[in-house]
Structure 1
Amino acid sequence: MLQLEVPVSARILMMSGCGVLGIMMFFNCYRFLNLSAERRWIKTGWETLIWSTQEVQKKRMNQYVEVMMEYGEQEKIPWIQKWDQYFVQSQIKKKLPFLNSQLYGLLLISAAAGGFLILIMIIQKSGGKAAWTLLWPGAVLFAGSYGLKVLRLRKLNQTERELLPFLNLVDNFSRSEQDLFRILERTGRYLKEPLRSAVIACSRQAVMTGNRYDAVWELIYQIQHPKFQEIIRNLEICSRNEANYSEVLRDMRQSLQHYIAARREEKEISKEGRIQTAFILLMGVVMMGMLTAMTRISMRDILKYAPGRIIVLCWCMVLLFMIWNTCLKDQERSGG
């Protein structure tokens, strides 16, 4: 049977043509999705989905703020409201403005379910074990939620570094200005994110709507650092009662300095705990390797018998407990 050999230059030309075609298809799809809502029902449905999920999240936020205003900070809140808080604190919305907490959760669940079904079909065709596909949904959901917590913790640390400059700036501007929101607007210009945009938005919301109390609680919801919330509440009380800012700021500065010193000590303890955990894990791996070398028994041989499985299971349980305990302590220190 006659076979034609395609020259290398022709192959390169064909690959280049496919690449150009792919780029053209991408831009055409982009233009298709960005046509007017009247002509494309896809965009209409997408915008409706975003709007409806944002409204539901906003209602939950208002309920949470109302509870805080009436009863104060709650130790235990529903998990869905905590998910909203984590999403807000992570500041993902600044990078992806269309995203909200509900849509983010929906995308995670869709990715977990879609990937699970695709893996099932692939494994069934290849004749592999379908049990391994159960790891995919758990991995996707864990990565999505853990990534949210990591971003939240990063923003909390950034907020913490700006607390002392925030107090100093408020103290400076309060000597020439008595209106709290004018002070916040001037202060926000010299701050870094995430405080900068939140503080400026609070002052502008108070000026535009005239509802100063709601603007303060919106700021408290956006920046859920316990010490920052305490500072804002005290400033709002001073503004309402026309009290002297300087005396209150002096007390808050001392309290903040003690808080920062305690946080540094906690971080050192947490760092030492991580080092000890890593050292124990390393020693466990070394001991397992030494045992394998001396007895000429591999890990596969150990897992063949019940005593070996029990030993490995106990070692894994201790490992998971140490990791869980370390993560739990970090979460408690971060106010989560």
Structure 2
Amino acid sequence: MAPVFSHPERHRVAVLVRDGLLPIELGIVHRVFGMARDAAREPLYEVVTCSYEAGHVRTDADFTINVDHGPEALAEADTVIVPASHDQHQLESRGILSARTAEVLAHIRPGARIASICTGAFVLAAAGMLDGLRATTHWMYCDSFARLFPKVTVDPDVLYIDEGRILTSAGVASGIDLCLHMVRLDHGTAVANDVARRTVVPPHRDGGQAQYIRRPLPEPQVAATAKARAWALDRLHEPLSLRDLAQRESMSVRTFTRRFRDEVGMSPGQWLIRQRVELARELLEGTDRSVDQVAEDAGFGTAVSLRQHLQTALGVSPSAYRRTFRTGEAA
């Protein structure tokens, strides 16, 4: 059988695609690794696409892709990348790897680097590759991932995680971050930055998935502290004490704190911070108020306090968050 890779002296990357492929994720791998060049402008990687067998693979769009290689490509690859697929219901609901998928993954040669994009992490986890490691996936699926794979430590807030031989990334575009990271590891910052410039993306993004997740707090079934919460939401810009909140429900501070935690699942102080962070996000996205004004309007008082709380909650500064999400002339 003829070799799959025509330039074995280059780093060989195989992308394993499945029915239901998200085409953008396949494009990310070919674009980032395909653009990496040495000083003589020679390609540093050879990238091939493979599937369970050569032929047509369905995507989640209205077209298919024609894949020339079967799983034999995995046996020659230095790096194997598994993108997401919308046809992985069994993996996402039961965490079970099919016999066919297990057979395909067995082609991966010992020592090869293995990475996933988005929910491709379900494949690695179901194969036992992530047991005892930290991993991430798209934030929408982190809860089910953690439930299905208790041996894996799930971090829903990061863009990617590097555990040495095994790497995982969050949703879709974070595949760019992960692939740039691998280029940086293999060939240094200058090469990775050149790829980023030519692809017109940042070489490194601040923060993680947390800044992209809206986290409205669920309304409790029991409402013994509902009046106090509604009152506080109208006054987030004011200094609010625990005693102020307790008085709204005619309770002692101790009783109010206990009832509040039972209903909401966190302390009143934690709840206030969460609500103020969400308000600050809205103001940074939807207004041209200065960071000092946003800090005051959201109840943090000072820009320093706002920065500290936003960094803790989202991993980014107010200015970085606004640059990412602000629309219009004031961006």
Quick check: TM above 0.5?
A: no
Which structure has greater strand proportion?
2
| Interval containing the TM-score (normalised by the shorter chain) | under 0.3
TM-score by length of 2: 0.28
Higher helix share: 1
Q: Given the two structures, how large is their TM-score scaled by the length of structure 1?
A: 0.28
